[in-house]
Chain A
Amino acid sequence: MVRNAELAHTTAMPGVKQIVNLLDDSTAGRRHQIMWIDGVGGFLLCHQDDVMIGQATSVPTADLLIMGDLSRQAIAIRRTGSDYLLQPYQETRIEDVKTNRPQLLRHCQTIAVGTSVRLRFSKPSPLSSTARLDLVSHHRWKPAVDGVLLLADSCIFGPRSPSQVQCPHWQSELLLYKLNGQWCFRTASETLVDGRVAKSPFPLVPGMRASGVDFSFSIEVNS
């Protein structure tokens, strides 16, 4: 009932029709990939253009789940081109300003959802539209990862800024990119994929393990 009321309120606002469909198109329960990078952290890879963020429950009702005091479907984020639009479904503040209508997200903005959950939205690289979501409050993603990558066209992992994921001890960058609809990666160093020497580009395959001179990571499917 509450959700219906929220919907009615939201649809009453001009220019919100498109984003409301997110609820209907919710990818709740969709299987995500997690990139576990040794010595760096774990990152949830979101390939879709729109994601619903909500409370982690035994029956998931959102794409990205947070173990915190927020609605099961709290906010939605839709990517349009290189922009990200936030639609709140419960009390939400962007940079401490309350909002109840779609808002364009900017680099390094803090999103407060409900009473205590706080997220930071960042789009660190001008060369890539991929954005990153981090929990800045003392809450956790489910599954427990260090951040969420909203993959657009490419994503940079490297020792220097601006990278979506900074890997301080790497000597060179690793680039994730889309090639003919398939996510691949490439790096300057010699790479072993599942223990075998391979040549670039390397397709990103669930269950794979890749390692180079100074890096190693695995792709796991979150079930």
Chain B
Amino acid sequence: MSTIDTESPSAKQPLWTRMTHAHHFRSHDEEFDACKIGMWLFLTTEVLLFSGFFVAYAIFRAMYPEAFRGGSHHLDWRWGSLNTAILLISSFTIAYSIRCAQTNNQFWLKFNLLFTAFCGLAFAGIKFALEYGPKWAQGKRPGILYDYPNPVNESEPLWWSVYYMATGTHLAHVLIGTAVIFIIWYRATKGMYGPKHYTGVEITGLYWHLVDLIWIFLFPLLYLIH
């Protein structure tokens, strides 16, 4: 939305000093506030989106406690913990990258963004290669695709449906977030972010924290509660 001043004598200055706000805003601060409110509203919609999975989890857990206990035992809490750690660290690095933008610490801004993006990839890699892949191969699949020879309870397919839908939607958010962070990192390499202009880093950070937060709820519900 922002436009770039290419004409004034300051055109040799870093890019972030030349970013001006979009013409329908009165000031840069107003644009920054607007983007932040917009992102908070968007995060509200994300919470409500995931609320559907949490409600489904609560209801089916109440209906079929045995199936959920049995299903939960199939998940390896160690991989879940590792992924939790990865997301928590990435939340720190993206928060740090916002601070770096504010203090014009360009190297650590770029480093932290890139590190966060690779955390996102690592999370997805663990999820696909070490969790979904082996479980799918063993027949632990959702609904009628379920093909595991010795289920604890006949409703166990429903547990896997909730598991795959909730973590799958979360994973989609991780991947989208990772892609956005790569874009923000690319822009940071062009010098677009600095103390006067860091809206993009800030709202991406907000989004990434939400992705982290949702996992913080999914992890104990799915992996730890027996």
| A and B interact | no
